[in-house]
Amino acid sequence: MAERVMMKGNEAIAEGAIRAGCRFFAGYPITPQNEVPEYMSRRMPEVGGTFIQAESEVSAINMVYGAAGAGARAMTSSSSPGVSLKMEGISYAAGSELPCVIVNVSRGGPGLGGLTPSQADYFQATKGGGHGDYRLVVFAPASVQEIIDLMYQAFVTADKYRTPAMILADGLLGQMMEPVTLPEDKDLQIPAKPWATTGMINGKPQSIINSLGLVGEELEKINVRLQKKYQEIAANEVRFAEEDVKDADLVIVAYGTSARVAKSAIDKARAEGKKVGLFRPITLWPFPSKPLSELAKSGKRFLTVEMSVGQMVEDVKLAVNGQAQVDSFGKLNGTIPSVNEVYDAIIKSFNSQGVA
């Protein structure tokens, strides 16, 4: 059986990627994700991969663009301000349909913000950030073990749909250590990439990696194809976890670190006989709208818990579509919400009159 080891979230991001077959990493130093490039710089040479400390975030994502276009499993990682800089390249990768993984170990903003954990990049991750009608598949781990598991899933999904995927973590997940079970070395069965620019060897037709559609109809065609792909992803790749939801009157919707804090607060409320449950989106896009809508139909009320003013709450409201009351607890960047703060929000929401 695989050994249990203690690992820092950031190291798990790197090791999880390597075990998922990632062989190209380009990044730039920024707190709180520095252990990712540091780990990669040691580890990549061991597996015959490439590590580059890029001159900028912009260059890093464009190196990933080149490497992904050449057929490699490639990734970059950064934190909020750095991810903003990468948005150009991410839009290009989406438009050129390049599978790659971008990790955001997010911190507080706006601007230079701070170094403390934050979830204020939800909009940026799930609703564009870069220009154009594109989507990223966004995974939100809530533990170091889940980081390992989702790194693998991110690369698989990216390859399956030829699309960039993002891991949206935060400074707490990046910095904390937890025991993890590392996956055994397995045959990764990375799909063939005949579209990659590997040279026109042995009669391979010309490969062009491109997001340009100068003629209007051409661009429309590209976008129609992209949207069709996104619909397919939305139909097949939704992930979420539920705990104590069945008998719950109030369902807390939270992801990542917030879900961890919410879980502790829920346990406290449950101990007092309050029927509260946890709904944890694991993919932030595609968002688990359907299961939430069904919960709303069955008469449950909702409270979102986020480390931001409240961003995901908009998606919850869209999903619930007026069928149930949706309250929001948002902790503004700077500190992580305490269990008691979330507990108080739960009690307040629990005792309020539902409008449903």
Partner 1 sequence: MILESIFAGFGGQGVMLMGQLLAYSGMHEGKNVTYFPSYGPEMRGGTANCSVIVSDDPVGSPVISELGILVAMNRPSMEKFEAMLKPGGMLFYNSSLIDVKPKRTDIKAFAIPANDIAIELGNIRVANMVIMGAILKAAGVVKIDTVMKVLTETVLTGKKKDLVGINRTALEKGMELGA
Partner 2 sequence: MEKVFGKPEALQERVFHYCPGCTHGIIHRLVAEVIDELKVREKTIGIAPVGCAVTAYNYFNCDVQQAAHGRAPAVATGIKRVLPDRVVFSYQGDGDLASIGMAEIVHAANRGEKITVIFVNNAIYGMTGGQMAPTTLPGQKTTTSPFGRDVETMGYPIKMTELLNTLEAPAFLARVSVHDPKNVNKTKEAIKKAFEYQIQGKGFSMVEVLSTCPTNWGLAPLEALKWLEANMIPQFPLGVVRDREGVAQ
- Closest-CA residue to 10 (of 115, 75, 103, 102): 103
Task: Name 139's bridge partners.
Answer: 167, 283
Assigned token pair, 70: 């050449």
4 binds, among partner 1, partner 2, none (CB under 5 to 8 A by kind): partner 1
3-state secondary structure of 181: strand
Q: Which residues bind partner 1 (CB under 8 A)?
A: 4, 6, 31-32, 115, 171-172, 175-179, 257, 260-265, 267, 336, 338-340
- Minimum CB distance to partner 1, residue 49 (Å): 26
**Residue 214 binds which entry of partner 1, partner 2, none, CB below 5-8 Å type-dependent:** partner 2
Q: Bridge partners of 106?
A: 170
- When the beta carbons of 209 and 339 are compared against partner 1, the nearer one is 339
Give the torsion through C-alpha atoms of 55, 163, 188, 280, to 10 deg. 100
Partner in contact with 176, chosen from partner 2, partner 1, none, beta carbon below 5 to 8 Å by kind:
partner 1
Which of partner 1, partner 2, none has residue 118 at its interface (CB below 5 to 8 Å by kind)? none
d(CA 260, CA 264): 7
Neighbours of 231 (CB within 10 A): 12
In the region spanning residues 222 to 251, those forming contacts with partner 2, defined by CB under 8 A, are none
* Residue 201 interacting with partner 2 (CB under 8 A): yes
Q: How far apart are the first and last CA of the chain?
A: 50
> In the set 29, 42, 56, 299, which binds partner 2 (CB under 8 A)?
56
Cβ(40)–Cβ(46) below 8 Å: no
* Residues of this chain, 73-102, that bind partner 2 according to CB under 8 A: 74, 88-89, 92, 96
- Residues contributing to the site for partner 2 (CB under 8 A): 23-24, 26, 50, 52, 54-56, 58-60, 62-72, 74, 88-89, 92, 96, 197-201, 206-212, 214
